[in-house]
Amino acid sequence: MRKVNLTDEQELITLLAIVRNNFGIDQTVVTGESRKQMHVICRQVISNIARIEKNIHPEIIGAKLGKDRCSILVYFNNHEPYYKTWSVYRDTFDKVYKDYCRLKNKRQVLRNMVNPELGLHIFNCFLFSIKPTPVQGGLFDKS
C-alpha cells in the first residue's frame, strides 16, 4: 500500500461530496459493490477527475472507492472513448468537473483575500448554500 497523502484523501472526499450534492448518491453507495449504471459512472468520474487534476495514484483512489488499482486504470483508459460516445458519462463528468473547478477556484481566490474573515464567510456560504449576509469592512462594503 502506498503512503496516503492527506490532501489526496481530502480531494476524494470533496469529489464524493460533489457527487452527493448533484445526484443524491450517498458515499457508501458509490464506494460499495453496486453495479447500477449511475453508481459506476460516478465512480469512474471521481476516479478520472482525481487522476487528471491531482495525479493521485490508482492504489489510493481504489482504496477510497473500494476498488483495486486495475479497475481505476481501466476507468482512466476508457475515459476518452466514453467521453466522446456516451452522453450520460459525458454529462455526469462535465457536471462534477464544473463544480469541482468552481470549488477549486473559490479556494484559490479565498487564499489570496485581504480580509480572511470575509473569505471564510464566503467559503462557508458556498459550501452550505445559504444566503450570504453582509460583512462589515469587506471588499465590497460601500460604507
- Cell 462535465 belongs to 94
Longest dimension (CA), the chain: 58
127 has a pLDDT exceeding 60: no
For residues 59 and 69, the answer to whether their CB atoms sit within 8 Å is yes
Residue 130's pLDDT is what? Answer: 42
Work out the average pLDDT over 54-65. Answer: 92
Residue 3's pLDDT is what? Answer: 66
Phi, psi of 113 (to 5 degrees): -75, 150
108 has a pLDDT exceeding 70: no
Which among 112, 97, 106 is positioned nearest to 129, based on CA atoms?
A: 106
Domains annotated for the chain, with CATH where assigned, are 6-112 (1.10.1750.10), 116-143 (no CATH)
User: pLDDT grade, residue 105 (50/70/90)?
Assistant: confident
Alpha helices in the chain (DSSP H): 6-23, 27-30, 37-54, 58-65, 69-77, 79-85, 87-111, 116-128
134 CB neighbour count, 10 Å cutoff: 9
2 has a pLDDT exceeding 80: no
Contacts of 110 (CB under 8 A, 6+ apart): 119, 120, 122, 123
